[in-house]
């Protein structure tokens, strides 16, 4: 039976006892490319693990993800000391030496931990307890080659195949006159694009069904999804500021500047950061305020975690195969048109129209492949939330979910002109609000060498 008094104290322990711009929770999320909900869930699992360590007289062992939280908590020495006081004993972190004796000891400890966990808390989270990092819950095999490699190979193949294909296709070109060839060429392009569009979305849908049911990707917050859709963190900030204008925490002044009211209503980390910065700066124009907000960890973490999701998916075998297929089909169409141009030039025939079509197709290929790299994050995943996940949630009275669904249509009327000024400032070379990709590879940091903890 669970010790309710002890668990209540552990559950209520706040790792962010001194709220700051870069506190325990936000640092944990930021350094590991974790989403907000996943970070909260992992901290809860860490508390459960430490409860088991407190009530067990034998060694228990964390998962690699839980161990990541433990490592950071050890750095916050004051907080860790206070936490151990609540636990009733000092929980020691014992690293593994990777010898056979240790491996067997930690294997037994892990099995013991699973049994204890199920006795006190029920079934363990698959994502947190059986994976080295949350991205493994997507169950996507990593591609053996980079997209850049496929592009280089494709260009080389284009050059090599020009000569044999020219002689192979020459009889066909001689038998098809214009404008029949143009109609055939344009028809092939249309059919190919329609077919690729259907096939791409089908493969994306199949990939989603590979995800664990408790995968972190299926538990994103509205602002994270808004960033995925728009690839612009200013859209997220606009929503958070609008919430504070709606509840009276921020006022819009006659000179189109913003400032805080005496009474503020804070409902999220985003709100807290906005109010703290606005109190520090005082009355300020919204474009200038936005420039400073973008760099704050609470917003940059949304960029980092969502870009990590996109990057991980784009490095998967599923996506790489799909990208290559799209590239090959477009390249085949370009070769087909290019060789028609060569044939026409050698026969002194007009080639202006087909040349124009091939140039347009080349630009279309670049745009389409670039769009493909964003399709999962900007279209497929948000669509999944709108059609399958949101209907199962109680989102009717949640403004953030309404903003995700309807965009700027739900912004406060008095606030819209300020965002329009922001757009104008951007177009004039003013404040930069475009997103930047995460600055290192995703996957988070976890210590696989940790064996477990020793009870007293």
Question: Per-residue pLDDT tens for 108-125?
Answer: 888 899 999 999 999 999
pLDDT at 412 > cutoff 80: yes
pLDDT at 1 > cutoff 90: no
DSSP state of 94: E
Two tokens, residue 314: 């784009």
User: Rounded distance, CA 410 to CA 226, Å?
Assistant: 14
Local structure of 274: helix, strand or coil: helix
Amino acid 439: pLDDT: 46
User: Rounded distance, CA 62 to CA 119, Å?
Assistant: 16
List Cβ neighbours of 279 (8 Å cut-off, separation of 6 or more).
260
pLDDT in tens, 128-142: 999 999 999 999 999
Range from 36-45, 74-83, 395-404 carrying the lowest mean pLDDT: 395-404
Q: Where are the domains of the chain?
A: 4-132, 139-439
User: Rounded distance, CA 127 to CA 171, Å?
Assistant: 59
DSSP state of 143: P
Place of tokens 């949101």: 390
Could you tell me the CA-to-CA distances from 83 to 13, 15, 69, 77, 425 in Å, in that order?
Answer: 7, 9, 13, 10, 49
- Tell me what the mean pLDDT of segment 178-197 comes to: 92
Q: Which of 447, 410, 442, 455 is nearest to 226 (CA)?
A: 410
Q: Which of the four pLDDT bands, split at 50, 70 and 90, describes residue 422?
A: low
What percent of the chain shows pLDDT beyond 90? Answer: 63
Cis peptide before 147 (omega within 30 of 0): no
pLDDT in tens, 385-399: 999 999 988 888 899
**Average pLDDT along the chain:** 87
- φ/ψ of 115, rounded to 5, equals -65, -45
User: Rounded distance, CA 327 to CA 330, Å?
Assistant: 5
List Cβ neighbours of 170 (8 Å cut-off, separation of 6 or more).
343
pLDDT in tens, 9-28: 999 999 998 778 889 999 99
Two tokens, residue 37: 């909900």
pLDDT in tens, 279-295: 999 999 999 999 999 99
CB 242, CB 235: distance < 8 Å: no
């Amino acid at each position: 039976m669970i010790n309710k008094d002890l668990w209540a104290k552990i559950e209520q322990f706040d790792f962010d006892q001194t709220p700051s711009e870069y506190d325990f929770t936000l640092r944990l999320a930021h350094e590991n490319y974790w989403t907000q909900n996943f970070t909260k869930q992992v901290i809860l699992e860490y508390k459960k693990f430490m409860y088991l360590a407190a009530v067990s007289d034998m060694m228990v062992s964390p998962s690699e993800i839980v161990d990541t939280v433990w490592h950071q908590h050890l750095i916050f020495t004051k907080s860790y000391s206070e936490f151990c006081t609540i636990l009733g004993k000092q929980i020691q972190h014992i690293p593994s030496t990777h010898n056979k004796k240790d491996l067997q000891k930690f294997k037994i400890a892990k099995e013991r931990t699973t049994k204890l966990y199920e006795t006190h808390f029920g079934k363990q989270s698959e994502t947190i307890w059986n994976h080295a990092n949350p991205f493994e819950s997507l169950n996507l095999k990593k591609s053996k080659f980079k997209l850049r490699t496929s592009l280089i190979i494709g260009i080389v193949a284009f050059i090599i195949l020009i000569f044999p294909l020219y002689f192979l296709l020459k009889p066909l070109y001689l038998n098809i006159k214009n404008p029949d060839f143009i109609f055939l060429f344009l028809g092939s392009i249309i059919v190919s694009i329609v077919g690729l569009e259907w096939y791409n979305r089908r493969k994306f849908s199949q990939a989603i069904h590979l995800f664990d049911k408790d995968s972190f990707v299926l538990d994103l917050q509205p602002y994270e999804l808004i960033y995925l859709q728009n690839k612009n963190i200013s859209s997220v900030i606009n929503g958070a500021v609008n919430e504070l204008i709606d509840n009276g925490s921020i006022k819009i002044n006659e000179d189109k500047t913003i400032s805080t009211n005496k009474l503020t209503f804070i409902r999220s980390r985003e709100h807290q950061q906005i109010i703290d910065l606005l109190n520090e700066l005082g009355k300020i124009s919204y474009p200038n305020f936005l420039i400073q907000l973008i760099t704050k960890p609470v917003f940059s973490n949304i960029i980092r975690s969502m870009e990590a999701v996109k990057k991980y998916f784009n490095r998967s075998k599923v996506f790489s195969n799909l990208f290559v297929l799209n590239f090959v089909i477009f390249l085949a169409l370009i070769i087909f048109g290019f060789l028609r141009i060569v044939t026409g030039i050698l026969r002194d025939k007009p080639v202006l129209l087909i040349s124009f079509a091939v140039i347009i197709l080349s630009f279309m290929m670049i745009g389409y492949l670039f769009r493909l790299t964003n399709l999962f994050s900007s279209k497929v995943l948000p669509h999944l939330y709108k059609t399958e996940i949101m209907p199962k949630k109680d989102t009717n009275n949640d403004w953030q979910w309404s903003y995700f669904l309807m965009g700027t249509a739900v912004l406060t009327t008095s606030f819209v002109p300020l965002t329009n000024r922001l757009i104008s400032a951007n177009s004039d070379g003013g404040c930069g609000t475009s997103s930047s990709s995460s600055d290192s590879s995703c996957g988070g940091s976890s210590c696989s060498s940790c064996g477990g903890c020793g009870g007293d």
